[in-house]
Structure 1
Amino acid sequence: MKPGVSRRALLTGTAAAAGLGLAGCGSVTGGLSDRTRVKQWNLLAGADGAIMTEMHGNFSDEHPDVELEATTFGWGTPFYTRLVMGASSGNAADIATIHLSRLKSVSPDTLLDAITIDELTEVGIDAADFPEKIWDKCFHDDRLYALPLDTHALVNYYNKDVCQQIGALNADGTLIDTTGREAYFDLLRAAKEVTGQFGTSLDTFGGWRQFWAWYRQADGEMTFGDDDFEMDDDKALQAIETMYLMAEEGLCPTFSDGAQCAANFENGAAAFVQVGNWEINRFKLFGGDNPEWFSMTEMPDFFGNRRTQGDCHSFVLPHHNSWDPEVRKATVEYAAYMLKHSYRWGEGGGHTPSYLPVTDSPEYQALQPNAEYSGVVQNVQFDPDAWFSGSAARLFDETGSIFNQVYALTMKPEAALELMKDRIHTLLALPNPVD
């Protein structure tokens, strides 16, 4: 029996760990040494990946009895394919870092092992240590399958010098608030006068993030059934029109992949950039002796609030045919260590830690520029619930190729909306490959 615990049992503390006394066929205790080997898989190859590597080194220094073997795979499909294949054979890593939005798409009841209350209590972790809406997403069929490390989301970076020139800073040096799409466009127009190129940069290949942020700001919902889905066409069209209008006026690039998106901000071609908070370390390093040349805040209010597209990196336990009890114990200790030391994850990686004892601490609340966008935890909007949805999933890719044409001004918003709906219907007709 795989270890598991119901939501009620988790909250009341009545569950007991099960199945931990069997001999392990994954990582092994001992071997050529008396250290317990823990295999970890992740998909963090960017600037935040360097911070995780640093944290892994710290964990190893403080746990000399544990041999942590961490492996980074290609972001997106390569990682999830490897995870599914390994877990289906019962011989994957002991712990893996996935996007919380992908939890259901990796068939947790068959490919993951649940986590018990006793294990969490033993390492000093409690349900009250996490934001409720994020904690609830860690469950499937009333069993806990994930431990959230952070909240990461689409945010708004700004060049302090340019914003000072256009009068866009408050007295304390933070970016002024704007309300409504046109008010923010005015800000971009003023910035474009200074940069001579764009007001803002963004990833025109990752348009799903902007779409979902603006669609959710307008209270747009997207729900999926067995063979159909519901979406508010008017609100969806409004979000797509925002892309087209921004590009048509030259306020953003018509073509900008992930690398060029960040480069436009670094080289001064754009005074703003809408990209994930994971780029913070890159921009600090670019500044050299002036790492505070920029700051960042939440997504601007276009349609009544500051909701934004986002996700959580989370730890899961890939299914094992059997667990070595020492390996299992060391694995949960590793997860707890990463949560309790996630101040460094927020400081260097830019992600907002999900572990409240860290984010509520005076040390983190004084951290800049992180504190300026800390409200993103309340405003983050997870992708709609479907096997083909979530970070690096088919919905992101299929819609991204459409929105890229909108930014390029080669497809009008009305045509993009219809094509988007066709693509979603095609995805609905496909069987979940994990099933």
Structure 2
Amino acid sequence: MTTEPHSLSGVRHDKATDMTRRQFLQRTTALGLGSTAALALLNACGTPTVNAGQLSANITYWNLFGGGDGVRMVQMEDSFSKSHPNIKLESVTLAWGAPYYTKLAMAAAGGRPPDVAISHMTRVPIYAAQDLLDPFDLNELAKVGITEDKFLPNIWERAHYNSKLYTIPLDTHPFVMYYNVDICQKAGLLDGAGNLKPLEGTTAIIDAFKRAQQVTGSAGVAFEVQGVTPWRIFYSLYSQLGGQALSADGKKLVIDDNKAEQALSFMADLTTKSKVAPPTIDYAGAVALFGSGKAAFHWNGEWEVSTFINQKSLKFNMVPFPKVFDQYHAQADSHAFILPRQSAVDPNSRAAVLEFISYMLKTSLTWAQGGHIPAYLPVTNDSQYKQLKPQSNYASVAAEVSVDPIAWFSGSGSELENQAGAAFQQVLAGQFTTKQGLDQFKKALQKLLSLPAPV
């Protein structure tokens, strides 16, 4: 699929004799040739394909990775730079969440964007709809080994907007379950091979947490209550019941009250009835409770694997978030590469960007060490990844995830997650009934739906 009127393949630049696309347009315009005619001449000439080893370009790359992710990303960037000495990579790390996405949108709208950037895939449709992104050229991607068959069908489909490919997925990062091996052994929850016995259904799961709690004397399971994690739990459970939050176009609230209250009732049971989970705890507190052995299970994103690996006294393992209701789903998102809209594309720089993305995909075993499931199937299907434990234990979840609904206020680090957390933590703390919590959340969504997109 060709999505630009020009080839995205690079041309070798001899600085003494060659010129970029932008320079060409500037010079032809100065000679009195209109921009339309200049573009036609440029497109008629075409651009020859260049071997990756011949590329010479400067590219800027924005991302939002901190902590362990940031360390691994820098490691991968350094490896790329060493193997591609003619491509100068300028990497900029910005604050996670709303500050990052605001700055990215402003840069694209203002004509001063980076050449390539990272986005959560749930954010991409809104950016694409606002014409803030360039779509990818499938023919040019194929030249660097990026083709549809290298990705799971569901994630490749989500990478499109209006039948155009706007993002290249780097990973899937799902909501998962951690467990303390020693505690679960004492509670009789492990099989003969030392792995957690399958937990499925509300009764079996709560029973397992109670048995584990008898061992810890503290908590059966720990998860953040005072933050956005309640949304991730709720959406995992609600999706298992077949529920949807917004219409496909992101303009209408379609929450099924019965299913939503069923999901919230199970969550509240954990904290206020069975009392196997602390009812008022923040993110750091939940991580610390599991890390110290005072909770047998932990519900969180897989990105905390690095934290627990570094605690040498902790023997833990990881499995997919459990199947509580009818059909398996777990809330997730993906980090992905995007092309912020360029006022004029330099084919040489664009070719270098595609080479960079390809390299990052092919070396994403390094990325997988931080817990994320590589999206590039040659990596996830390789024996090295399968031997990476406990990170590969939940790789199958990538085909069965539920991503946040599409709306300008949705996606990772969004106002939707904030409002869900604010409402649902009241239910978990026993201060709201499930109906009251759901009503507050629905009112917040209706208010957001009534507002125009800020971009």
Provide the TM-score with structure 1 as the length reference. 0.90
Query: What is the DSSP-based 3-state SS (H/G/I as helix, E as strand, rest coil) of the residue aligned with 2:96?
Result: coil
Equivalent residue number for residue 228 of structure 1: 252
1:251 aligns with 2:246: no
2:291 corresponds, among 259, 266, 280, to 266
In 1, distance between residues paired with 2:338 and 2:385? Answer: 26
Cα deviation, residue 107, structure 1? 3.5
Q: Using the alignment, how far apart are the partners of 1:298 and 1:182 within structure 2? A: 18
Q: What residue in structure 1 maps to residue 241 of structure 2?
A: 218
Q: In structure 1, what is the equivalent of residue 34 of structure 2? A: none
The alignment partner of 1:200 has SS state of: strand
Partner of 1:357 in structure 2?
A: 378
Which range is displaced more, 88-97 or 43-52?
43-52
Q: 1:241 aligns with which of 265, 287, 290?
A: 265
Q: Indicate the SS of the match to 1:199.
A: strand
Task: Determine the C-alpha separation between the residues in 2 that align with 1:138 and 1:109.
Answer: 16
Q: Percent of pairs identical after alignment?
A: 36
Distance in 2 (CA, whole Å) between partners of 1:326 and 1:294 is 47
State the secondary structure of the residue aligned to 1:68: strand
Equivalent position SS for 1:390: coil
Supply the distance in 2 between the matched residues of 1:390 and 1:406 (Cα, whole angstroms): 22
Check conservation: 1:16, 1:118, Cα contact below 8 A: no
CA contact (8 A) 1:17 1:118 kept: no
Partners of 2:23 and 2:393 in 1: how far apart?
Answer: 46
Aligned counterparts of 1:216 and 1:421: Cα–Cα separation in 2: 17
Match of 1:138 in 2: 159
What's 1:31 paired with?
A: none
Corresponding residue number in structure 1 for 2:410 = 389
1:412 to 1:284, Cα distance in 2 relative to 1, 3 A: same
Q: Which runs of 4+ in 1 moved over 3 A?
A: 18-21, 225-228
Deviation at 1:305, TM superposition (A): 3.7
Partner of 1:285: 310
What amino acid is aligned across from residue 423 of structure 1 in structure 2? A
Structure 2 contact 128–161 (Cα < 8 Å) conserved: no
Change (3 A) 1:118 1:326: same
The answer to whether the 8 Å contact 2:104/2:113 transfers is yes
CA RMSD, 1 decimal: 2.0
Q: Deviations over 1:283-306 (max 9, x none)?
A: 11122xx67x11100011111343
Q: Measure the CA separation in 1 of the matches of 2:250 and 2:352.
A: 41
Q: CA deviation at 1:367?
A: 2.1
Q: What per-residue deviation string (whole Å, max 9, x for no partner) do you get for residues 358-388 of structure 1?
A: 1111222222112321111122111122222
Does 1:122 find its partner at 2:143? yes
2:7 maps to 17
Counterpart in the other structure of 2:42: none
* 1:167 equivalenced with 2:191 (yes/no): no
Residue 329 of structure 1 pairs with residue 354 of structure 2: no
Q: How does 1:57-206 map to 2 (within 5 A)?
A: 57-108=78-129, 110-204=131-225, 205-206=227-228
Alpha-carbon separation, structure 2, partners of 1:379 and 1:163: 26
- TM-score of the pair, normalised by structure 2: 0.86
Separation (CA, whole Å) in 2 of partners of 1:135 and 1:109: 21
Once the 2 structures are TM-superposed, how far is the Cα of residue 226 of structure 1 from its aligned partner? 7.4
The CA deviation at 1:245 is 1.2
Per the TM alignment, residue 396 of structure 1 is displaced from its structure 2 partner at its CA by 0.7
Matched with 1:345 is 367
Confirm or deny: 8 A CA contact 1:308 1:379 kept in the other structure: yes
Q: Deviations over 1:282-329 (max 9, x none)?
A: 111122xx67x1110001111134311001100001111112222211
**Quick check: 1:342–1:353 contact (8 Å CA) kept in 2?**
yes
| Counterpart AA for 2:358 | A
1:189-226 deviations in whole A, cap 9, x for unaligned? Answer: 11111111111111211211000000011111233367
- 8 Å contact 1:19–1:322 — kept in the other structure? no
Cα distance between partner residues in 2 of 1:65 and 1:344: 23
How far residue 227 of structure 1 moved from its aligned partner, in angstroms, is 5.7
Aligned to 2:423: 402
Q: Answer whether contact 1:310 1:382 (CA < 8 A) is retained.
A: yes
Counterparts of 1:71 and 1:101 in 2: how far apart (Å)? 22
Q: Determine if contact 2:168/2:338 at 8 Å carries over to the other structure.
A: yes
Contact 1:24 1:324 in 2 (8 A): no
In the aligned structure 2, how far is the partner of 1:16 from the partner of 1:144?
16
Distance 2:175 2:158 in 1: 19
**Per-residue deviation, 1:228:** 3.4
1:226–1:165: structure 2 CA closer, same or farther, 3 Å change rule? closer
Shift of 1:35: 6.0
How far did 1:140 drift?
1.2
Aligned length: 411
Distance 1:44 1:189 in 2: 37
Aligned to 1:311: 333
Which consecutive residues of structure 2, in runs of 5 or more, have no partner in the other structure?
A: 11-19, 25-54
Contact 1:179 1:304 in 2 (8 A): no
Check conservation: 1:345, 1:351, Cα contact below 8 A.
Answer: yes
Q: Quick one: distance in 1 between partners of 2:326 and 2:200?
A: 7
Distance apart, 1:108 and its partner CA: 4.8
By how many angstroms is 1:16 displaced?
6.5
User: For residues 101 and 156 of structure 1, what CA distance do their matches in structure 2 show?
Assistant: 22
Q: Which amino acid aligns with 2:361?
A: L
- Structure 1 contact 37–69 (Cα < 8 Å) conserved: yes
CA distance in 2, matches of 1:295, 1:327: 43
Secondary structure in structure 1 of the residue aligned to 2:219: coil
